[in-house]
Amino acid sequence: MVLDGLNAAQREVVAAPAGNVLVLAGAGSGKTRVLVHRIAWYIQTGQTHPHGILAVTFTNKAAGEMRGRIESLLQHPIGGMWVGTFHGIAHRLLRAHWQEAGLPENFQILDSEDQQRTVRRVIRGLELDESQHPPREAQWYINAQKDEGLRPQHLDDRGDPSLRQMIRIYRAYEEHCARAGLVDFAELLLRAHELFREQKERLAHYQQRFRHVLVDEFQDTNSLQYAWLRLLVGHDGSLFAVGDDDQSIYSFRGARMENMQRFQGDFPAAKLHRLEQNYRSTGVILRAANALIAHNATRLGKELWTAAGDGARVQLYSAFNEHDEARFVADRIAAEREGGGRYEDCAILYRVSAQSRVLEEILMQSGIPYRVYGGLRFYERAEIKDALAYVRLAVFRNDDAAFERIVNTPPRGIGQRTMEHLRVTARAQAGSLWEAALATMRDKMLPSRALSALDQFLRLIHGIGEQVRRQGPGEAVAAALEAGALREHYRKEPGEKGLSRIENLDELQNAAREFELDPELHGEIGPLQAFLAHAALESGETQADAQADCAQLMTLHSAKGLEFRQVFLVGMEEGLFPHQHSSQDARQLEEERRLCYVGLTRAQRRVTLTYAQHRRLHGTEFYPQPSRFLRELPAELMEDVRVGGDVSRALYAREAEAPDGAGFRLGQRVLHAKFGEGIVLNVEGYGSQARVQVNFAAAGSKWLVLAYAGLQPA
DNA sequence: AAGTGAGGTCTTTTT
DNA sequence: GACCTCACTT
């Protein structure tokens, strides 16, 4: 029954003998489906109980979806199964074993914004020049080290003075977080890894329990997540990993595509499977995507195919400027709608979020409803974070991030001088700001006006603490809003902004109450702590109002995992896509190409590409060249939209005429007697002169004369 | 302590 | 073009 409705390749994967399995699953090939059915298969064949399964994803959305699909397939709740994100699972482990992990019981989670503020404070505390050592860069550096599993003591400055300062900042930041009981996202993973590495009995316990570990989007794992999985799986466990190296687009945040290549070496007796039949797109779209991605040298190699027909050719529009581009897209969407289609079937994908502005203007003018994905999410809003900071400080007085945030919000006469004094005192006594404030009050170390303002603040927090102690999140948030007078504070903000902030605060109270009523969400740590963790780990939807029928606007990155009938890929220009910052380095360029591949493979029926001959960006003028990716698409799949337009045919890759009967295509998998399996990267010449460039998995990239090579289609 | 104007920056994003 | 930070003013 779990094998019903699967194709042969999927069935083979789902029912593969227990052991380590890597599934190279192309876009739209049913990757999550296979993962979910594998879980059901484990259970229905009696190999394990739900209790013995751990399934990991990257986003809460994916985890939620997976949970739902497992439950509906099994027809009952998943019980003791763990399904969650890497961070969520790490958090769960750390809450359960906080002592062994060296954390205070009520440690709090620092999100990226909190982290950056904290890093800034640390840099100032070290009396370093902020313009010389930008907090953003230091934060970046710290996270990159943690993602590699490196603590300050593992790092060597190699005599480089600026590196020396970075390490110094990292060390000071770490000390600060330890004092304040704060754990950032990367730290969750690092501590969870260290817990497994250093507490052998704990590790053994979880190894015994989770004999079957499953990971989605495996190409997005970073070094630390990979190392953690290796520890957990050990010798006796089994790892079932699903991923697509061609869709690895997050190396900038530590993702290691190489983890897919390493898999077979590191996990004993690992089996590799491929899922290449695509159920989403037309033949034309897949051929275009295959040809594009074939230009990448570092891949495991695969070629998507479909049983469906060819469909329409890929359209290309050369716009005069970004306004013309937007108008063209808007017209197309309007036409789609008039032809009986829906707005929501149309997605406009772009490289950088700044591109959305002009698109939005024109869509608005054209009366086309739209929705922009990305941007601030609910729990990231300033007013929400303010309110939660009151609760956090009331729960855990040492939370310096919360203290800094609300000590003078709303303004209560605690200014820079007072805060500077508290920071210095806190550093001197190696304690928190709260402790410094208590000492300052006790020794009367400030002018009486400042002392009285500070005293009021301390009492205020104390008061909330009294109320919060025995109450759930709903009451706690209410108490914080009341005592902090945040509604009054935001009411003063002019215009709609203040109004929406107050609405958000009301919504926060609702969310807290609802959370309180659902015991499933509380875990073992109590409703209030669970709610605070929930707010930090799941920042919520971008927009609560999922409007009816809207055109969808988003970056290529946020489009991953989604699909649309019609995809508009705009801004196909050198410098923008591939982006300037990524076009120098070969590895980064390949990632840009994968991003383009992701964009193309989002489309079910039709892809439209556009580029502008003239573009204003950041207030300056550009006359960009068309993107090199356009030239990498086979000419016969393309169609110029503008009649008599100046788009030259030469823009596209001419498919070389290979000798009769040979017919090798770009991106095709081939077999060579000596070099083994490879992918066709390039084709040139005619007849007996015809040559192909093939990237062999084992032997690397080679040019071969077809007449002698004896290549076979694989 | 709080409000105003100049100057620098500007990929991609989840947890 | 928009945002954020900093220095300066009141």
Residue A253 identity (one-letter amino acid): R
Closest residue (CA) to C1' of nucleotide C3 is A618
Rounded to 10 degrees, what is the CA torsion of A506, A512, A518, A524? 170
For strand B, is any atom closer than 7 Å to the CB of A456?
Answer: no
Q: Which one from A247, A282, A355, A440 is the annotated catalytic residue?
A: A247
Q: Where on the phi/psi map is residue A301: left (φ > 0), alpha (ψ -120 to 50), or beta?
A: left
Q: A624 CA, B8 C1': separation in Å?
A: 25
- The verdict on whether A660 is a catalytic residue reads no
* Residues ≥6 apart with Cβ < 8 Å to A702: A675, A678, A693, A694, A696
Query: Which nt is closest to the CA of A59, judged by C1'?
Result: B14
A639 neighbors A314 (Cβ within 8 angstroms): yes
- The verdict on whether A646 is a catalytic residue reads no
Report residues of chain A scoring pLDDT below 50. 544, 643-650, 652, 654-662, 685-689
Give the up-direction half-sphere exposure of residue A523: CA atoms within 13 A in the CB hemisphere. Answer: 17
Query: Which nt is closest to the CA of A111, judged by C1'?
Result: B15
Query: Coil, strand, or helix at residue A268?
Result: coil
Closest residue (CA) to C1' of nucleotide B9 is A618
For strand B, is any atom closer than 7 Å to the CB of A543?
Answer: no
Long-range contacts of A700-704 (CB under 8 A, 24+ apart): A701/A297, A702/A675, A702/A678, A704/A672
Q: Where on the phi/psi map is residue A340: left (φ > 0), alpha (ψ -120 to 50), or beta?
A: left
Strand order in the sheet with A212-215: A82-85, A53-57, A212-215, A238-243, A21-25, A271-275
Structure confidence at residue A617 (pLDDT)? 84
* Alpha helix stretches (DSSP H) within A349-432: 356-365, 382-395, 400-406, 416-428
Query: Which nt is closest to the CA of A357, judged by C1'?
Result: C1
For strand B, is any atom closer than 7 Å to the CB of A204?
Answer: no
Q: A449 CA, B3 C1': separation in Å?
A: 22
Closest residue (CA) to C1' of nucleotide C2 is A618
Query: Which nt is closest to the CA of A84, judged by C1'?
Result: B15
Closest CA to A249 of A552, A560, A25: A560
Q: Which one from A114, A184, A216, A404 is the annotated catalytic residue?
A: A216
For strand B, is any atom closer than 7 Å to the CB of A539?
Answer: yes
- The verdict on whether A216 is a catalytic residue reads yes
- Please provide the distance, in angstroms rounded to a whole number, between the alpha carbons at the two ends of chain A: 32
Structure confidence at residue A668 (pLDDT)? 67
Q: Residue A156, class by beta-carbon neighbours within 10 Å (0-12 exposed, 13-18 middle, 19+ buried)?
A: exposed
Instruction: Label each residue of A319-348 as H, E or C.
Output: EEEHHHHHHHHHHHHHHHHHCCCCHHHEEE
For strand B, is any atom closer than 7 Å to the CB of A582?
Answer: yes
For strand B, is any atom closer than 7 Å to the CB of A112?
Answer: yes
Q: From CA A143, how far away is CA A138, in angstroms rounded?
A: 9
Structure confidence at residue A203 (pLDDT)? 96
Q: Which one from A31, A385, A560, A669 is the annotated catalytic residue?
A: A31
Q: A440 CA, C4 C1': separation in Å?
A: 32
- The verdict on whether A276 is a catalytic residue reads no
- The verdict on whether A247 is a catalytic residue reads yes
Q: From CA A655, how far away is CA A103, in angstroms rounded?
A: 61
* Residues ≥6 apart with Cβ < 8 Å to A258: none
Structure confidence at residue A701 (pLDDT)? 63
pTM: 0.86
Q: Is the peptide bond before A410 cis (omega within 30 degrees of 0)?
A: yes
Q: A404 CA, B2 C1': separation in Å?
A: 18
Q: What is the DSSP letter of A381?
A: S
For strand B, is any atom closer than 7 Å to the CB of A418?
Answer: yes
Residues 82-111 of A with CB under 7 A from strand B: 85, 87-88, 111
Pairing label, strands A370-372, A551-555: parallel
Q: A94 CA, C6 C1': separation in Å?
A: 40
Residues 240-299 of A with CB under 7 A from strand B: 249-250, 252-253
Closest CA to A636 of A313, A295, A182, A258: A313
For strand B, is any atom closer than 7 Å to the CB of A455?
Answer: no
Query: Which nt is closest to the CA of A113, judged by C1'?
Result: B15
* Residues ≥6 apart with Cβ < 8 Å to A387: A477, A480, A481, A484, A486, A505, A508
Residue A240 identity (one-letter amino acid): F
Q: What is the DSSP letter of A19?
A: S
Report residue A180 as tokens: 């304040």
Q: From CA A376, how far away is CA A524, in angstroms rounded?
A: 30
Nucleotides of chain C touched by protein CB (<7 A): 1-2, 5-6
Q: A486 CA, B6 C1': separation in Å?
A: 32
Q: A116 CA, C7 C1': separation in Å?
A: 22
For strand B, is any atom closer than 7 Å to the CB of A494?
Answer: no
Q: A618 CA, C1 C1': separation in Å?
A: 6
Closest CA to A73 of A5, A174, A168, A141: A5
Q: From CA A547, how far away is CA A36, in angstroms rounded?
A: 30
Q: A120 CA, C10 C1': separation in Å?
A: 28
Q: A99 CA, B11 C1': separation in Å?
A: 40
For strand B, is any atom closer than 7 Å to the CB of A61?
Answer: yes
Closest residue (CA) to C1' of nucleotide B8 is A131
H or E element: which one contains A350? strand A346-350
Closest CA to A84 of A188, A4, A202: A188
- The verdict on whether A602 is a catalytic residue reads yes
Nucleotides of chain B touched by protein CB (<7 A): 1-3, 10-15
Give the up-direction half-sphere exposure of residue A624: CA atoms within 13 A in the CB hemisphere. Answer: 27
A314 neighbors A682 (Cβ within 8 angstroms): no
Q: A143 CA, B10 C1': separation in Å?
A: 22
Q: A57 CA, B11 C1': separation in Å?
A: 25
Q: From CA A279, how far away is CA A68, in angstroms rounded?
A: 22
